[in-house]
Structure 1
C-alpha cells in the first residue's frame, strides 16, 4: 500500500480545485510558467484563499517527492544544490535574462547569448540547462533558451549594451530584485561555506560578535559586515546593498504596518519613534493613515540624508509641520530626551541583525528612555518549529498560531517556511544575528527590560510583537 502518497495527492487535488474555483469566480487565468513575468497576472496569488491553497499544494508536492524518491537522491540533491546558486550567479553576470527578453518566446542560441563576452557558449549551455531543469529559463530547442516567468525575475529591465557600458549603474532605476538576488549570490554566498568552520572552531564557536561571523572568516577581515560595507573600496557593493534593501521591502506590502496593532489607541500628538527606520517609507504609511501621530525616523546620518530627500519629494508637508522628523542616531547610544517620552518605539527588522546580547542592548537603551506607558513594537518574522508545539501555552494573547495544517504534512508546511530558515542562516552567516521563535522573543524582551504582552500575526510568518516596560 502507498496510502501516504494517495493522501498527499488528495491534498494537492483539493488545493488545486480551490484555486481553480477562485480563478473562475474572478474570471482570471492562473499564471503559467510560459512567457515572462507579468505583475498584473500575479494578483491572483495574493488572494487569501488562493495563497493558503498554494501553501498546501507546495508542501504536499515537496513531501511526495521526499517520500517517493530514494533517500540517497534527496541527500545528494541537497549536497549539490549549491551548483544552482552558482549557475544563477553566472546567468546574472552574463545578462542572460536581458538578452532573452529581446528574443521573446522563440529564444536565442547560446552562441548569440554570449556575443560580446568571453564566455564559452558550450559552458553557458550547461549552466542554463541546469536552471531550465528547475523551471528557471526554458530550453526551447537544443542550446536555444528563452525566458519564462521565473527567470524574468532576474531581469533588470535594461538594455544589454547599457549594462555593459555602465556596469556601475546596473541597479539604478530598477525594482531592486536583481540587486537583492545578486547580493545574495555574491557576498553572502561566499560566506556560507565557512559556517561549519566558524561553528566548530573553539575560537569562534560560542561567539556572538558580528566580526566573528562566517562572513568575516570567509573574507579574512577583522571587520563586521557593516564596517566592511562602508569601506571606500566596497562602494559599489554598498550601493547594490541599498538598492537590494529597497527590493526586499517591495516583497512586503507597505500596508501591513497599519494592520494588527490599533494605532488609534495612541493619543493625539503621540510620538512614535521608528528606530533604524531607514528612509522612513513605513513611517510615511503611518503618517498618511494616522494623521494624529508624530513620527520620528532614526537611522545613520547618511541614510537620514536620503530620507529627508524622500520625504521632501513625497510628503513635504509632514516635515514642514513637524509631524515627521528625521534624526541621525546610533541605536546603541542613549535616546535623545523627549518631553513627553514617546508613546511607542518601533524596531522593524532590526533585531534579526544582532545576536541576543546585542539586541538586548538596543532594547535596554529604549527601556531606559521609556515612560511607564511607553510601548515597544518589534516587527520580525516568527520562525516556526518543524514539530507540533502549543505556543498558546506561553499565555501571551495572539501567541497561538492560526495556521491549520492537515495531516500528513509537516507542521511548518516544509518548503513553505524555508524562506524563514534561509533568512535565519543569512543573519547567522553575515553578522551572527538570527531570526527567532516566539519563545526566543519572549526571552529577548525580558533580557531587554520589557515584557511581551501581545502578538499580532501578519500574513506569512511576520508578526508585530508588543511589549511594555518590565
Structure 2
C-alpha cells in the first residue's frame, strides 16, 4: 500500500468516533426523565437536576456533557446546564416538540431490531421481524403501550412539519375535496385545511380503530362540527373515499412494496378517475440528506420499507394509472411527488 493510501492515526480516531451509538440513547434518556422540562425554569447544576429528576448524579453528568457537545443542552458553567434551542424540543407541549419521537428512539423493542441488521443483510428480512418473530404492525397491535409510543411519535413528527409541507403545494387552493389516505388522527389534513380555506372539504381515511381516535380528537372537533372534515374508516387497499379532487398521502408509500402501492393507486384511479395524487415522501438521490439516509435504514430494520428514487416513483405511478408530473421540494426533508391520471389507462 502506498503511503498516500495508508490510513493515519487521525483517520483511525475519526472512524472510532463514529462507532458510538450514544447520542440517540442519551436524547431518549433526556426525554424520558424530563430533563428539558425541569431546566425550563433556568439552569441547574448536575446535582440539583439529579435530585429533581430522581437520577444518578454521576451518570446524569455524563449524559449531559455528551449532549451539550452535540448542541442538545448547554453547559453554562462547570457541571451547570441549561436548555438550548434543540433541548427545548424535548419538552412536552413545546411548539414542534419531539418528546414522543425521542422516547420512541430509545424503546428496547426498537433497539433489538438494530441488533439484527447484520442478519438482515444476509437474509433480506427486516430486523424487527428477526428480533420479535412478527411484523411491526402485528407487534404494535398486540402491545397497547408500544402502540401508544409509536403513534405519539408519528403525531409529533407530523405536527412539527405538516404546515411547512402543506404550504409547499399551492395547487391545493383550487381543490374542492382532499382525501388523506392513512392520515392517522388528521394532523396533515388539518394543516392543509387550515392553510387553504378555499378547500371545501377534507376526508380523513384510515383503519377504523384510528378513525375512532380521530372522532374524539380536540384538534379536529371544530372541523368535524362544521362539516368541513369527514371521516372514512376502512382498509385503503379495499376502499377509498369517492368524489375526491386530490388524494394525498404522507409517509405512506415508503412503508409498502411496489405491488401494494400499485394496488392502492389503481383503487384511487377507479374510484375518482380525475383526481390528482400527491405524496409527501422522501426521495432518494445523490443529494439526499443524512436524515433521509438514516430514515431509509430505519425503514429497512422495521418493515423492509424503502425510500424510492424519482424514477421508481414514476414506474409505480405509471403502473397504477398515473403519470408523475412533478417533484416539488419543501422546507423540510419531504418532497411532494405529484401524479395526474394517465389518459386511457387500463388495468390488468
TM superposition score category, shorter chain reference: 0.7 to 0.9
Identify the residue that residue 326 of structure 1 maps to in structure 2.
231
Q: 1:368 aligns with which of 258, 261, 270?
A: 270
Identify the residue that residue 114 of structure 1 maps to in structure 2.
50
Q: Closer, same or farther in 2 for the Cα pair 1:101/1:418, shift >3 Å?
A: same
8 Å Cα contact 1:260-1:457 kept in structure 2: no
Say whether residues 1:89 and 2:28 are aligned partners. yes
TM-score w.r.t. length of structure 1: 0.63
Q: Distance in 2 between matches of 1:360 and 1:453?
A: 17
Identify the residue that residue 77 of structure 1 maps to in structure 2.
17
1:216-255 matches, within 5 Å, as 216-218=129-131, 220-222=132-134, 224-231=135-142, 234-254=143-163
8 Å Cα contact 2:25-2:105 kept in structure 1: no
Q: Distance in 2 between matches of 1:294 and 1:150?
A: 36
8 Å Cα contact 1:188-1:426 kept in structure 2: no
Displacement over 6 Å in runs of 4+: none
Q: Distance in 1 between matches of 2:54 and 2:329?
A: 50
8 Å Cα contact 1:175-1:247 kept in structure 2: yes
CA shift digits 1:151-174 (9 cap, x unpaired): 3322336xxxxxxxxxxxxxxx99
Identify the residue that residue 115 of structure 2 maps to in structure 1.
193
**Structure 1 position 328, deviation (Å):** 0.2
Say whether residues 1:273 and 2:179 are aligned partners. yes
Identify the residue that residue 63 of structure 1 maps to in structure 2.
none
Q: Distance in 1 between matches of 2:92 and 2:229?
A: 33
State which structure, 1 or 2, has the greater radius of gyration over its C-alpha atoms: 1
Say whether residues 1:420 and 2:331 are aligned partners. no
Q: Distance in 2 between matches of 1:349 and 1:444?
A: 16
Q: Distance in 2 between matches of 1:383 and 1:196?
A: 23
TM-score w.r.t. length of structure 2: 0.82
8 Å Cα contact 2:185-2:213 kept in structure 1: yes
Gap runs ≥5 in structure 1: 1-67, 158-172, 206-211, 387-411
1:63-462 matches, within 5 Å, as 70-80=10-20, 82-102=21-41, 104-105=42-43, 107-110=44-47, 112-115=48-51, 119-156=55-92, 176-186=97-107, 187-201=109-123, 205=124, 212-218=125-131, 220-222=132-134, 224-231=135-142, 234-254=143-163, 256-266=165-175, 270-287=176-193, 289-291=196-198, 293-310=200-217, 313-319=221-227, 323-335=228-240, 338=242, 341-371=243-273, 373-386=274-287, 417-462=289-334
**Structure 1 position 139, deviation (Å):** 3.5
8 Å Cα contact 2:71-2:86 kept in structure 1: yes
Q: Closer, same or farther in 2 for the Cα pair 1:140/1:217, shift >3 Å?
A: same
8 Å Cα contact 1:298-1:326 kept in structure 2: yes
**Structure 1 position 355, deviation (Å):** 2.8
Gap runs ≥5 in structure 2: 1-7
Calculate the aligned-residue CA RMSD, in Å.
3.0
**Structure 1 position 299, deviation (Å):** 0.7
Which one is further off, 356-365 or 296-305? 356-365
Q: Distance in 1 between matches of 2:294 and 2:256?
A: 16
Which one is further off, 445-454 or 113-122? 113-122
Q: Distance in 2 between matches of 1:133 and 1:312?
A: 40
Number of residue pairs the alignment of both structures matches: 332
Identify the residue that residue 4 of structure 2 maps to in structure 1.
none
Q: Closer, same or farther in 2 for the Cα pair 1:317/1:69, shift >3 Å?
A: farther
Q: Distance in 2 between matches of 1:87 and 1:429?
A: 21
Q: Closer, same or farther in 2 for the Cα pair 1:114/1:458, shift >3 Å?
A: closer
